């Protein structure tokens, strides 16, 4: 009767440790054995066992005991059916200290497993005398085996869930991923646990975010998906190879290095079902197929997917912030470059103008002629430097036309090759029939020459090869230049690639290679790649750089293709310079040097010049002299009344006034707000006698014609 009441108490016992404590008391009392234990496996690789509940001769035995499984009877229990040692227990396991402390001579034990076959612990009976009734003891243990295993499984599930929750509170995303990978390996009793993500912009390549083994974090790497079980994970969403995985994927080196026999992997998808990465484990012995249905696996997969999605959202936010910062920096640089170029070009007008005036006043054989020609040449090179500064900030001249990139590079290549040292071998790979690209040919030539010059510098005195190639490529949103610019729009593109066999770039250089004025060359140079960056961005393209120290570098400009056919090169038709000479020309500019130099050049050309230092003075001069003013040269960048506002007031004063716009900026930049207003020409600063003469004559040739900015 008392045994029946005791069983009823056990059935009514609350789940968890309360039931396990009742069980060991009940077993030790009803069977008359000295000790009854519930053991739980623990340790990084479940190599130890600790007492969860202990009963002694019908009463509770508050005992705290943890010991290695190896060299104990529990090691035998974990290998299969019930284990019985009727006597001589300590002689059989002489190194097991707990047996000596308990005075045990006989033993009976059953393994406790969860629904997936994972070993949880053991239910054991011990006595100091030989085993009295093996069949009765075994039947008693077997009757409570399922319930005891269920309680241990619940305890483990709680701890595994706590591990996942603790991982969610990691100080960094990397800590979270490491905790999840370690928890996954431990939960599945696997040797290695890992979490990986697909590398954005590099199809077929994954990056490890966490790799754990026996609770230790291991070095991370990137690898190709091809010929690995991970590639199958992305096809099927879940892959379990319980044994023989190396034979199925013989080319996977990592499996051999891990000593893997079994593999389990699950794909991580975002909220739209798009793959982001995967989690998985490998083990050096077979895995039970039931592991794939464990709730803790599903929980870890969901948590890892959520963390990966959060990481990506943060990375995209950082990209947007970096693009905003780059845009602000570029805008600031543009303002600075514009101011410098404006003042610089005004000074160069004085240098070029006076040099060209002096040259025209000298005989062909005058000794000073060569010196003045050198001054003029130096001034034009300085003007090109100002132009590069504007290109660096994305403000340079821009006249896009549909162009065959191969033909453009072929023409430029002949010019480039003639100036290369003999130690440099220039190779052109320019396929025909590429889609056209809408580009400014002058800027693309400049970008090409800068990149070739960089390659020559990188090769140095030892000699080597610079390869220039074009080709077509299909862009997706993942393609993004290393210059921090926005991703390319999807669609067909054409690339221009310059590769050299030089010294390559180290990490520090790659970090700063697009910074204006940063250079690894001699002092005073450093606009090359910054100018290329500005040119590429202005064309809506991307600049992709690959380099390895000691192995050379490759710079690929990717440009969107256009549907228009490539324009044939146009040969300019020379216009006659015999338009009527003489008359009054009004020069409106805020710089005295520009006004006086321009006036002297006009005088040499047979005109009479009047000058005005600002817009309002210019309007008054036009009203005062009326129809006698044949032409107005109007600077577009003036304080007070701007060039645009001055233009409008000049037209109000005289509707038929011929106005030539003058600026250090390119034509499109300087005249974009006057596109439909009509004007008689555009004169780019700095200019000399030849440029001024051509512009004035062409403007006066047009009796009624006006020019749009086009």
Number of Cα atoms under 13 Å in the Cβ half of residue 325: 8
pLDDT tens-digit map of 278-325: 999 999 999 988 888 888 888 899 999 999 998 888 888 887 787 677
Determine whether 226 is exposed, middle or buried from the number of CB atoms within 10 Å of its CB (0-12, 13-18, 19+): exposed
DSSP lists the bridge partners of residue 119 as 113
pLDDT tens-digit map of 106-150: 999 999 988 778 888 999 999 999 988 888 998 988 889 988 988
Q: Read off the pLDDT band of 169 (50, 70, 90).
A: low
Domain that holds residue 483: 401-560
Compute φ and ψ for 252, nearest 5 degrees: -85, 105
- What per-residue confidence (pLDDT) applies to 391? 61
Q: Are 549 and 421 members of one domain? A: yes
Q: Which residues contact 503 (CB under 8 A, 6 or more apart)?
A: 458, 459, 460, 549, 550, 552
- What per-residue confidence (pLDDT) applies to 80? 67
- What per-residue confidence (pLDDT) applies to 513? 67
What integer is the mean pLDDT of 430-439? 90
**pLDDT at 388 exceeding the cut of 90:** no
Q: Are 425 and 551 members of one domain? A: yes
Q: DSSP letters of 556-609? A: EEEEEB-SSPPPPPPPPPPPPS-S---SEEEEE-S-HHHHHHHHHHHHHTT-EE
Q: Are 179 and 149 members of one domain? A: no
In a domain, 238, yes or no: yes
Characterize the bridge pairing of strands 584-588 and 552-560: unpaired
Determine whether 416 is exposed, middle or buried from the number of CB atoms within 10 Å of its CB (0-12, 13-18, 19+): buried
Instruction: Determine the Cα–Cα distance for residues 413 and 428; give it in Å rounded to an integer.
Output: 8
Instruction: Determine the Cα–Cα distance for residues 541 and 563; give it in Å rounded to an integer.
Output: 16
Compute φ and ψ for 351, nearest 5 degrees: -65, -55
- What per-residue confidence (pLDDT) applies to 669? 64
In a domain, 365, yes or no: no
Q: Are 187 and 236 members of one domain? A: yes
In a domain, 396, yes or no: no
Question: Looking at the chain, how many residues does it have?
Answer: 710
Compute φ and ψ for 587, nearest 5 degrees: -110, 115
Q: DSSP letters of 344-368? A: HHHHHHHHHHHHHHHHHTS-TT-TT
Q: Which residue has the tokens 């070029």?
A: 352
In a domain, 384, yes or no: no
Q: List the beta strands (DSSP E) in 136-256.
A: 192-198, 205-213, 216-217, 222-224, 238-241
Domain end marker among 293, 318, 340:
293
**pLDDT at 445 exceeding the cut of 60:** yes
- What per-residue confidence (pLDDT) applies to 305? 92
pLDDT tens-digit map of 216-230: 888 999 999 999 999
CA dihedral (306, 312, 318, 323) positive or negative: negative
In a domain, 154, yes or no: yes
Q: How many CB atoms lie within 10 A of CB 560?
A: 20
Q: Are 155 and 182 members of one domain? A: no
**pLDDT at 2 exceeding the cut of 60:** no
| Lowest-confidence pick of 159-173, 183-197, 227-241, 389-403 | 389-403
Q: Which range among 44-48, 154-158, 626-630 has the greatest average pLDDT?
A: 626-630
- What per-residue confidence (pLDDT) applies to 487? 65
In a domain, 606, yes or no: yes
CA dihedral (634, 640, 645, 646) positive or negative: negative
- What per-residue confidence (pLDDT) applies to 703? 46
The span from the first CA to the last CA of the chain, in angstroms, equals 108
Domain end marker among 498, 528, 560:
560
Q: Read off the pLDDT band of 154 (50, 70, 90).
A: confident
What integer is the mean pLDDT of 534-551? 83
Where would I find the H helices in 468-560?
A: 507-512, 528-538
The CATH number covering residue 244 comes to 3.30.450.40
- What per-residue confidence (pLDDT) applies to 269? 93
Q: Read off the pLDDT band of 671 (50, 70, 90).
A: low
Angstrom distances, CA of residue 38 to CA of 25, 95, 106, 149, 276: 11, 21, 17, 10, 43
Q: Are 408 and 438 members of one domain? A: yes
Instruction: Determine the Cα–Cα distance for residues 242 and 116; give it in Å rounded to an integer.
Output: 13
pLDDT, mean over the chain: 82
Q: Which residue has the tokens 């960048």?
A: 637
| Lowest-confidence pick of 195-204, 476-485, 552-561, 594-603 | 476-485
Cis preceding linkage at 639, omega within 30: no
**pLDDT at 572 exceeding the cut of 50:** no
Residue 701 is inside which H or E element, if any?
helix 689-701
The SS3 assignment for 393 reads coil
Determine whether 90 is exposed, middle or buried from the number of CB atoms within 10 Å of its CB (0-12, 13-18, 19+): middle
Q: Are 26 and 109 members of one domain? A: yes
Q: Which residues contact 356 (CB under 8 A, 6 or more apart)?
A: 376, 601, 688, 689, 690
In a domain, 388, yes or no: no
Provide, rounded to the nearest whole percent, the portion of the chain with pLDDT above 70: 83
In a domain, 342, yes or no: no
Tokens of 415: 């010019």
The CATH number covering residue 696 comes to 3.40.50.2300
The CATH number covering residue 553 comes to 3.30.565.10
pLDDT tens-digit map of 591-625: 999 999 999 999 999 999 999 999 999 999 999 99
Q: Are 130 and 151 members of one domain? A: yes
Q: Are 156 and 177 members of one domain? A: no
Q: Are 155 and 183 members of one domain? A: no
Q: Are 75 and 188 members of one domain? A: no
Number of structural domains the chain divides into = 4
Instruction: Determine the Cα–Cα distance for residues 186 and 213; give it in Å rounded to an integer.
Output: 9
- What per-residue confidence (pLDDT) applies to 255? 94
**pLDDT at 531 exceeding the cut of 90:** no
Would you say 206 and 194 are in contact if contact means Cβ atoms under 8 Å apart?
Answer: no
Q: Are 665 and 552 members of one domain? A: no
Burial 121-130 (b: 16+ CB within 10 A, else e): bbbbbbbeee
Domain end marker among 293, 326, 345:
293
């Amino acid at each position: 009767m008392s045994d029946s009441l005791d069983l009823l108490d056990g059935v009514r016992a609350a789940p968890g440790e309360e039931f396990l404590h009742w069980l060991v008391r009940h077993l030790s009392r009803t069977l008359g054995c000295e000790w009854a234990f519930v053991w739980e496996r623990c340790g990084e690789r479940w190599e130890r066992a600790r007492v969860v509940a202990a009963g002694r001769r019908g009463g509770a035995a508050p005992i705290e005991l943890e010991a290695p499984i190896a060299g104990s009877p529990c090691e035998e229990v974990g290998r299969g059916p019930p284990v019985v040692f009727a006597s001589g227990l300590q002689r059989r396991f002489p190194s097991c200290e707990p047996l000596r402390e308990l005075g045990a001579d006989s033993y009976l034990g059953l393994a406790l497993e969860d629904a997936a076959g994972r070993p949880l612990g053991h239910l054991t009976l011990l006595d100091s005398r030989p085993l009295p009734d093996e069949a009765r003891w075994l039947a008693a243990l077997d009757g409570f085996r399922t319930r005891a295993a269920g309680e241990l499984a619940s305890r483990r599930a709680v701890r595994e869930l706590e591990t996942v929750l603790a991982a969610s509170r990691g100080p960094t995303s990397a800590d979270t991923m490491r905790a999840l990978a370690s928890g996954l390996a431990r939960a599945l009793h696997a040797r290695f646990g890992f979490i990986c993500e697909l590398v954005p912009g590099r199809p077929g390549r994954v990056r490890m975010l966490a790799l754990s083994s026996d609770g230790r974090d291991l070095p991370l790497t990137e690898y190709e998906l091809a010929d690995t079980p991970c590639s199958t994970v992305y096809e099927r969403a879940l892959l379990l190879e319980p044994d023989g995985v190396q034979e199925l994927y013989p080319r996977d080196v990592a499996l051999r290095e891990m000593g893997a026999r079994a593999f389990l992997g699950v794909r991580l998808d975002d909220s739209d079902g798009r793959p982001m990465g995967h989690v998985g484990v490998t083990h050096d012995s077979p895995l039970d197929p039931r592991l794939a249905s464990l709730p803790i696996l599903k929980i870890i997969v969901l948590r890892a997917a959520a963390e990966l999605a959060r990481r990506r959202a943060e990375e995209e936010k950082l990209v947007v912030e970096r693009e905003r910062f780059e845009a602000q920096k570029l805008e600031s640089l543009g303002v600075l470059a514009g101011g410098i170029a404006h003042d610089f070009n005004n000074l160069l007008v004085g240098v070029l103008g006076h040099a060209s005036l002096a040259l025209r006043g000298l005989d062909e054989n005058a000794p000073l002629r060569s010196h003045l020609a050198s001054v003029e040449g130096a001034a034009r090179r300085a003007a090109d430097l100002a132009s590069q500064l504007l290109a660096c900030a994305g403000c340079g001249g821009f006249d896009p036309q549909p162009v065959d990139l191969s033909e453009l590079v072929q023409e430029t290549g002949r010019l480039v090759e003639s100036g290369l040292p003999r130690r440099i071998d220039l190779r052109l790979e320019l396929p025909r029939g590429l889609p056209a690209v809408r580009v400014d040919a002058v800027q693309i030539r400049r970008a090409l020459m800068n990149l070739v010059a960089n390659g020559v510098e990188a090769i140095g005195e030892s000699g080597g090869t610079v390869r220039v190639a074009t080709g077509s490529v299909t862009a997706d949103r993942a393609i993004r230049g290393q210059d921090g610019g926005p991703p390319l729009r999807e669609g067909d593109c054409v690339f221009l690639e310059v590769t050299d066999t030089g010294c390559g770039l180290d990490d520090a250089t790659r970090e700063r290679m697009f910074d204006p004025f940063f250079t690894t060359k001699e002092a005073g140079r450093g606009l090359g790649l910054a100018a290329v960056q500005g040119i590429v961005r202005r064309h809506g393209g991307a600049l992709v750089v690959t380099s390895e120290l000691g192995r050379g570098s490759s710079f690929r400009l990717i440009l969107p293709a256009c549907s228009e056919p490539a324009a044939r090169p146009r040969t300019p038709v020379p216009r006659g310079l015999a338009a009527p000479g003489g008359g009054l020309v009004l020069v409106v500019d805020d710089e005295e040097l520009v006004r006086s130099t321009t006036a002297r050049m006009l005088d040499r050309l047979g005109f009479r010049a009047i000058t005005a230092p600002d817009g309002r003075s210019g309007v008054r001069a036009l009203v005062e002299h009326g129809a006698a003013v044949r032409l107005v040269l109007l600077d577009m960048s003036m304080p007070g009344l701007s060039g645009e506002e001055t233009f409008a007031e000049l037209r109000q004063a005289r509707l038929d006034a011929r106005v030539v716009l003058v600026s250090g900026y390119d034509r499109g930049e300087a005249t974009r707000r006057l596109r439909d207003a009509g004007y008689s020409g555009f004169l780019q600063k700095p200019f000399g006698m030849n440029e001024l003469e051509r512009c004035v004559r062409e403007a006066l040739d047009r009796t009624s014609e006006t020019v749009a900015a086009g």
